[in-house]
Amino acid sequence: MTHSGKRSRIAGLGINLPSKILTNAQLEKMVDTSDEWILTRTGIRERRIADDGETASTLAIPAAQEALRRAGVAPEDLDLIVCATSTPDMSFPSTACHIQRGIGAKGCPAFDILAACSGFVYGLSVVDNFIRAGSAKNALLVASEIFSRIVDWEDRNTCVLFGDGAAAVVIKATESSSHVIDSRIRADGSYADLLTGGGGSASIVSAKQFDPKSHFIKMKGNQTFKVAVTNMAEVCSSLLADNGYTANDVALVIPHQANIRIIHAVAKSLNIPEDKMYINVHRYGNTSAATVPIAMYEAQEEGRLKKGDLVLLVAFGGGLTWGSALVRW
């Protein structure tokens, strides 16, 4: 495939967060935990919970519409729709196809990416390569998660961590100085058992054998923590070095919002001041693939993303998967 010479620019962002807030104090009444325990170990104060009738696509559509409006792109002008989600509406059609119908786009390819919490960074890398190859000029990348449906609300080690939310970005081909510089996405399936969610062909669904908890998240937290910090720091360091930058050149890091201790440990490993790490995990918990674009949206709204800034994105998730992207804002 011929390289087009074009680069990718993030042209518009949008988010959609459920209105229902579940605080640590409320969780204290549901499971054996405490606000102090959650806050000390995770940095989370509250999270958003989707309504019963909400799905990943219905949560995503308003975010996509806002991103399109801000980018000045009509749905019919999209060449590509990618949705990063671990909680799709159903096995098929893809959530991306449901979003396509919901926003009134037609004809362009639409598909899902399942890379757990790394999904948005994976998706950004995929879209960037489509644009660089000349296969798309206007793309919509959405991350939408409803993890409240797949957590065991009797398991205090997991239910306190996750929340629901959606975010979207419109990515356009550009020749401007504001663009995606480079990205790295990686995986190691030998760690697959550290963080899993059911509901696929490995789960037995029958009246005789059905396990109502078979689709819930299962996580080996301590082991996952160590692998996450090591690999997030390594992929960031290699991405910066390969492109001729150091940590000192970075204006803002937007990391996956899983746990405040992971964010602090990655900052320390990279020798990046913590005030350069954007943090909103206290408001939303871990919204999986949606954490990075939600944080990016809020950073822009707060004026923390300025034209010309070098911005580093990094995420880590089940698979195990991880990845990083370098963006000139």
Q: pLDDT value at position 218?
A: 86
Q: Which of 24, 138, 259, 286 is catalytic?
A: 286
Full domain range(s) for residue 262: 181-328
Task: Kindly state whether residue 256 falls inside one of the protein's structural domains.
Answer: yes
The last residue of one of the domains, among 159, 175, 191, is 175
Residue 303 in any domain: the answer is yes
Across 26-37, average pLDDT: 95
Q: Are residues 87 and 224 in the same domain?
A: no
Please check whether residue 190 lies inside any domain of the structure: yes
Asked if residue 2 belongs to a domain, the reply is no
Q: Is 162 left (phi over 0), alpha (psi -120 to 50) or beta?
A: beta
- Do 126 and 237 sit in the same domain of this protein? no
Q: Are residues 140 and 12 in the same domain?
A: yes
User: Is 1 domain-assigned?
Assistant: no
- At 213, the pLDDT band (50, 70, 90 cuts) reads low
Same domain, 221 and 114: no
Q: What is the pTM of this model?
A: 0.95
256 classed as catalytic: yes
Q: Residue 90 falls within a domain, yes or no?
A: yes
Same domain as 300, residue 188: yes
- Using 50, 70 and 90 to split pLDDT, how confident is the model at 219? confident
CA distance 294 to 251: 18
- Pick the catalytic residue from 16, 97, 138, 256: 256
Among 175, 208, 235, the domain-final residue is 175
Average pLDDT, the chain: 94
CATH number at 38 reads: 3.40.47.10
Residue 208 confidence (pLDDT) above 80: no
pLDDT band at 2 (very low <50, low <70, confident <90, very high): very low
Residue 292 has pLDDT above 60, yes or no: yes
- Structural domains counted in the chain: 2
> Over 50: is that where the pLDDT of 158 sits?
yes
Mark whether 116 and 211 lie in a shared domain: no
- 179 catalytic per annotation: no
Q: Is residue 209 scored above 60 in pLDDT?
A: no
- Looking at residue 107, what is its pLDDT? 96
3-state secondary structure 110-166: EEEECCHHHHHHHHHHHHHHHHHCCCCCEEEEEEEEEHHHCCCCCCHHHHCCECEEE
For residues 157 and 209, membership in a common domain is answered with no
42 lies in the same domain as 110: yes
> Does a structural domain hold residue 126?
yes
Residues 60 and 79 in one domain: yes
The catalytically annotated residue of 97, 108, 117, 159 is: 117
- Whether 83 is a known active-site residue: answer no
- Tell me if 93 is assigned to some domain: yes
Which of these three, 158, 175, 192, is where a domain ends?
175
Residues 14 and 99 both lie in one domain? yes
Band the pLDDT of 181: cuts 50, 70, 90.
very high
Q: Is residue 216 within 8 Å of residue 198, measured between CB atoms?
A: yes
77-127: pLDDT as tens digits: 999 999 999 999 998 999 999 999 999 999 999 999 999 999 999 999 999
Q: Stretch 178-207: mean pLDDT, rounded?
A: 84
